[in-house]
Amino acid sequence: MQVLLCLVCAFGLFGQYHPAPLPLEDDGPVHPTRPAQNDLSVATKYLQKFYSFQADPKGRRRRSRPSFSSKLKDMQSFFGLNRTGTLNPDTLAVMTAPRCGVSDVEDYSHRRGNRWKKNIITYSVGRYTSDLPVNTVDDLFALALDAWAKASPLTFQRSYSHQADIMVEFVGNEHGDSFPFDGPDGTLAHAFGPGEGIGGDVHFDEAEAWTAGFKGFNLYVVAAHEFGHALGLKHSQNPDSVMYPTYKNRKTQNLLSSEDIMNINTLYGPRDKRPYPSARFSWSYPSSPWYSGSYFPASFKDTCNSNLTFDAVTTVGEAIFFFRDKYLWIKHNNQNDIKEGPISNFMPKIDCRIDAAYWVPQRSAAYLFNGTNFWTVKGSQVKGRAKNISSLGFPSWVQQIDAAVHIHKTVHTLFFTQHQYWRYNEHNKTMSDSSPRNISDDFPEINGPLSAAIYKDGSLHFFVGSDVYEYDVKQKEIIGADKTTSWLGC
């Protein structure tokens, strides 16, 4: 995380910039003492970048400005070194250690309003590193943000929009923000404080060796530091703080120190007593696919079991959501990039299994059913309380929906219960007078009960146990069959 010069100009236009902290590993590479003739150059560049030192041009008399020695004392004091004002091995060791690119002496404090003026903050990931799988990077970023969410009233929503509050990406040396990276080691990352445009954005140096462990630079640790800057926090002199400028290997549990929690609370207030996790998942689906929210890495042990069955399946735009017990898989755009985890990680208000689900694109809303209740999920929230299915026109003897599918061309939703199905008009919000009808009468070769159903690529897909049948509605016949596991890339 690097801080660049010309901070006054950059911060004035875009908001404050914050580089990331560097990890100092016990088993990491030893930084040799640089040749004496280079020491002054190294120190001068370091103080210019991180301590606002302005060297006098050669041949000019010194003006009334802080001297090299006084700036060096400031740096030594910040890191708890002997405040000598002269270069020594300890001082040079800190100067050559990997660190965040943000300045250590930025002119702002936690009380000056350098914060987001809202508690729901969106973030988007652009270019990824080649060092880690995309899913791993997404997981680590979500966990890093969740560390701050757990300590504050903030909620973070994942977005695929270029208008997100916090834009995150891995970039090369020159990347268009006047703060170039310097290759391996050195500056690891940098961030900009809250604000419009580039404000809140976080950049990671792609030249670094990013890992999920401790042999290279732990992405979770560095990301937590950088996101702290994106929220308005400055560097800390406390080595236990995640906002310490230089990189350190840290325990990933309870990453934030008491000082970090106090500082984020000073900016945004204490965490409210929410009964649900801070993560949110957004079902909004604009012209280009995007989601928002965070989740914890998790794994369903029997994903590729040939007998796998789903409780509910629904499309959400170009994505497909698969529900089983209290677990959820999300497959995007026919790719094998599948995200998964407990349902409550994506939709905190729902902590139960889902019997049926469907999506109405005209409303950007999903409807999830459990027993006689159903929820409307729109935007990033579960809207209101659960409603009873009787409000849709079901008689009291219907106690559960087995499957549901919306066919947007006809504006009708089909509900399947045991060996019957019901037709609901989403436009008029009325149940068809002819409902219910026998499934086998209108869908020959399909025998209920169904596990799930979706309408995709002009065909209905019926999930019956561990089998999936592709059904041609016009020809009224099965035109393909597969196993449920094939839908998860098995």
Tell whether 201 is in a known binding site: yes
Tell whether 107 is in a known binding site: no
Where do runs of H (alpha helix) occur along 168-242? 219-230
- In the residue annotation, 226 being an active-site residue is answered as yes
Report which residue type is found at 375.
W
Residue 344: which H helix or E strand, with range? helix 343-346
User: Helix, strand or coil for residue 359?
Assistant: strand
* Residues facing 346 on adjacent strands: none
β-bridge pairing 217-218 and 312-316: unpaired
Kindly tell me the burial class for residue 90, based on how many C-beta atoms sit within 10 Å of its own C-beta (0-12, 13-18, 19 or more). middle
Whether residue 115 contacts residue 232, with contact meaning beta carbons closer than 8 Å, is answered with: yes
Tell whether 205 is in a known binding site: yes
Tell whether 470 is in a known binding site: no
Tell whether 355 is in a known binding site: yes
**Helix (H) and strand (E) counts in the chain:** 9, 26
Tell whether 453 is in a known binding site: no
Tell whether 18 is in a known binding site: no
User: Helix, strand or coil for residue 36?
Assistant: helix
Query: Residue 378 contacts by C-beta under 8 Å, 6 or more apart in sequence?
Result: 283, 284, 363, 364, 365, 366
Tell whether 337 is in a known binding site: no
Query: Residue 70 contacts by C-beta under 8 Å, 6 or more apart in sequence?
Result: 85
Tell whether 110 is in a known binding site: no
Tell whether 406 is in a known binding site: no
**Paired tokens of 410:** 């006809």
Out of 106, 206, 226, 340, the active site residue is 226
Tell whether 412 is in a known binding site: no
Whether residue 43 contacts residue 24, with contact meaning beta carbons closer than 8 Å, is answered with: no
Tell whether 165 is in a known binding site: yes
Whether residue 222 contacts residue 189, with contact meaning beta carbons closer than 8 Å, is answered with: yes
Q: What span, in angstroms and rounded, lies between the C-alpha atoms of 235 and 337?
A: 36
Tell whether 208 is in a known binding site: yes
Q: What span, in angstroms and rounded, lies between the C-alpha atoms of 238 and 225?
A: 13
Query: Residues, the chain, total?
Result: 490
Report which residue type is found at 479.
I
Whether the CA torsion 444, 450, 301, 488 is positive or negative: it is positive
Tell whether 200 is in a known binding site: no
Q: Which residue shows structure tokens 């984020």?
A: 264
Residue positions forming the annotated binding site for Ca(2+): 131, 165, 182-183, 199, 201, 205, 208, 311, 355, 357, 404
Pick out the residues of the known binding site.
100, 131, 165, 175, 177, 182-183, 190, 199, 201, 203, 205, 208, 225, 229, 235, 243, 311, 355, 357, 404
Known binding residues for Zn(2+) are 100, 175, 177, 190, 203, 225, 229, 235, 243
Residues involved in catalysis: 226
